[in-house]
Chain A
Amino acid sequence: MIDVFLAGPDRLLPYLLLAAVLFSLGVVSVASRRNAVGYLMGIELMLNAANLDFVAYGRFRGAEPAAEAQVAALFVIALAAAEAAVALALVYAVFRNFRDVDLDKIRTLNGD
């Protein structure tokens, strides 16, 4: 396995592992951040990790890098932008209502 690591950018595994770590960090962020914007940062991290996976697989699939993978990555970026726009509009609306974006304080859906 050491040789795989030392091989660097022309092996698939490092990219996959990196994407895995990025994804996990995104999950941690989503599960623990109290601030709504911090929450959104976690989502962006996850999306990027997925994108990285897409492109990495595309690169190492055959003799030439697959164009479809990159097209998919482009789509994901566009969608991430759209989603970020909507999310931040939501955050703004929430801020207007609660004057705060602390997720621990925004608990109107509380079951009790």
Chain B
Amino acid sequence: MDPALLSLFCLGAPLVVAIFGAFAWRRVPGIDHLSIAAQVVGTLSALVLAVSAHSAAGFSLPWLSFPGTGIALSLGVRLDRLSIPMLLVVQGLSLGVLVFSRWYLKGDRFYGRFFASFSFFVFAMTGVVLAPGLLQAFVCWELVGLGSYLLIGYWHDKPVVSRDPQYQADKPFFATGVIESKLSPSNAQFKAFVVNRVGDFGFLSGLALFAWVVSSWSGFRGGDPLSWDILFSAAGAGAFYQASFLGLSGPGLLTLAGLLVFLGAMGKSAQFPFHIWLPDAMQGPTTASAIIHAATMVAAGVFLTARIYPVLTPDALTTIEWVGAFTAFFAATIACVQWDYKAVLAYSTVSQLGYMMLGLGAGAEAGGYGAGVGHLFTHAIFKCMLFLGAAAVIHALHGVQDLGRMGGLARKMPLTAIATGIGTLAILGVPGFSAFWSKDTILAAAHAKVYIAQVAGTGEWAARGPWLLGMVTAALTAFYMGRQWLCAFAGKPRDMHLWEHAHDPDKASVVVILALAFLSLQAVWTGSLNPFGSGSWLDGVLRAPGGGILGTVQALPETVEHYLHVGTMLWALPLLIVGFAAAVLLYVALPNMGYRTADWLRRDPPTNLVWQFLANLWFVDRACDLLFAEGLGRRGGEAVARADLGSGPSLDGAVDGTAGISVGLGRLSNLLQSGRSQFYAGWSLLALFGALAIFFLGVR
């Protein structure tokens, strides 16, 4: 069957359900069945595509033509070795989450709307994945933002948490970072949209820059300058040397364009400082978070960066690597002190996204492309599964998310405990699980970049930083993820009443979770236990794309690669063990000592300062709130109001002043109207004869 047609099923089925559901969710029951049916169609199509397609395919239809310039921006579908696996991931995970959501949201007052919004989101995300060029990517990018807006703000009538008695009763004891007077689903959806918008401004600027440079290139023969083929060939043929903008040309200009588009990726993929929307997005249903914040929307940023890989200069890549490394470290430190189950997962997502960017930024020669993309896929699966596990736990505990009230749940929810246990082991990077392979590949790629820099003689210290941060973060990840699982499932229950009523989810949902857990095993991915074996079906996917400015990628010699990989593994495993052991000690083996240590860390200087800093989320959220919400928003609004309507100098005052001038002039002119005839006559005669005198005096 024509692959393009199959892909249209993936796009069209969710869209149809979304549009229908938007109008009918209140009146027609069974939107959930429709969504799931659409998803089944989509997943089957994606599977067929994955199995059968062997070369790049697709089509483009011209959409916006500019006659006379030869530019015709297009929409369409592009199927190649990056988009097909991603498509499969998106469609398959969406199916699983939808099945789970039927159990999770049963009886909710807005039930049908969730499925309609979800289908819309899937449609938009598929549009991004299948985009044949930057334009469709951008358009569907914005639609994805809309989809996440709808899903985060699902319970839009919930009040801010400072006024929500349920939240106040259930919130963790040490929750300090959250600005409670401003956290609500409607505020969170707004925050997500606005922060993404800032990134999208960069995306649009980069897009415009690309379009301009490519279309004014001498070798441009008409068509869509933003389509991948034309864009990459233009960049590779030196189009950026022919243009100049803001004094930049050539590599500098290309770096600028690439980084502008990366700004959009930073917004969607929650890189520092655009991460602030993701923890707040936990206000939405957990299953929504499972798909948005684990697997698809945040992955869109990484996907976009991978897509434009052939036009990213080494400078751009180094920047990306640093951004990713810092984000990974930063989010991991915060996750260590969070007591809300979902908050730990949220910051963990931010951290892992940072890892992906770190991997991509390591460069094609270091194997970074494959590392980043690989982690993208594995993380999507196990994080989605971890979120679904979180949903199961929260549902079982009637909405309580506080780690301090959980404990010993493994006895009551065995299947959930097994599945989330597998996911936690995966994210830790334990050998035998999927992320061991993908995460270590990222660290190896970062190390390889250091080596390449040493050989080239430049940029070595710039490359060491991300590698170091990545290593430290690995240890932190082991600690906080282990802590989370252990606090929830192991040890003694801390709240007997809650523990009594805990139970596993219903059958269909359990199947979903276990299926995802299975996919988190390493064997599925690489075909063997050796993480660095080649020849698996992934190799085709993970080979860096040629073209653009990359040319053909020279891989490192085998021996060097082997040495680097083994070296990384030898560093990573001990770090992992140390981190996990700390978690076990503090929370399970010696809980009392754990409490005393934690207390001491929290209260006594100097560690209490560190703890405050971390617990308050490095004050980033507060800073953004002060700067933008309070500063620009409220103060700015007040200043504008004062400038417009206030007393004193203002627009209103200016209008009044103009009127006042008119009144004053009128009063002046009043003096001429004295009512005395001789006055009138005198003045008019004076005026007339004065003019005549001047005239006659000048005449020869």
Q: Residues of A with Cβ closer than 8 Å to B?
A: 27, 30-34, 39, 103-104, 106-112
Contacts and interface: CB of A to CB of B under 8 A. Distances in A.
A14 to B, nearest CB: 19
Contact of A111 (B673, B677, B678, B686): B673
A104 B672 CA distance: 14
Given A27-B685, A27-B689, A30-B685, A110 B675 contact: yes
Contacts of B675: 106-111
Contacts of A33: 678
B627 to A, nearest CB: 57
A109 B674 CA distance: 7
B674 A107 contact: yes
7 contacts: A27-B685, A31-B686, A103-B677, A106-B677, A110-B674, A111-B670, A111-B672
B676 A31 contact: no
A30 B676 contact: no
A42 to B, nearest CB: 8
Contacts of A106: 675, 677
Counting chain A CB atoms within 10 Å of each CB, the highest count among B669, B685, B686 belongs to B685
Nearest to B688: A27
A3 to B, nearest CB: 23
Contacts of A107: 674-676
Contacts of A27: 685, 689
Nearest to A27: B685
Counting chain A CB atoms within 10 Å of each CB, the highest count among B672, B676, B677 belongs to B677
Nearest to A107: B675
B246 interface: no
Contact of A103 (B672, B673, B678, B689): B678
A10 B681 CA distance: 35
B670 A30 contact: no
Contacts of A31: 678, 681-682, 685-686
A103 B671 CA distance: 17
Contacts of A111: 669-675
A39 B676 CA distance: 12
A interface SS class: loop
Given A27-B689, A104-B676, A112 B670 contact: yes
A19 to B, nearest CB: 14
Contacts of B669: 111
Interface in B46-103: none
Nearest to B685: A27
A30 B673 contact: no
A39 B677 contact: yes
Q: Which 10 A-B pairs have the closest CB atoms?
A: A111-B673, A31-B682, A107-B675, A110-B675, A111-B670, A109-B675, A30-B681, A27-B685, A103-B677, A31-B678
B676 A103 contact: yes
A27 B678 CA distance: 10
Contact of B673 (A32, A104, A110): A110
Contacts of B677: 39, 103, 106
Nearest to B677: A103
A39 B689 contact: no
A112 B667 CA distance: 9
B576 to A, nearest CB: 95
Contacts of A112: 670, 673
Nearest to A35: B678
Contacts of B681: 30-31, 39
B678 A39 contact: yes
Contacts of A104: 676
A33 B678 CA distance: 7
Counting chain A CB atoms within 10 Å of each CB, the highest count among B678, B685, B686 belongs to B678
Given A30-B685, A31-B686, A33-B678, 10 more contacts: A30-B678, A30-B682, A32-B678, A39-B681, A110-B673, A111-B669, A111-B672, A111-B673, A111-B675, A112-B670
A110 B670 CA distance: 9
B226 to A, nearest CB: 70
A111 B673 CA distance: 5
A60 to B, nearest CB: 20
B671 to A, nearest CB: 7
B536 to A, nearest CB: 99
Contacts of A110: 673-675
Contacts of A32: 678, 682
Contacts of B689: 27
A34 B678 contact: yes
Nearest to B680: A109
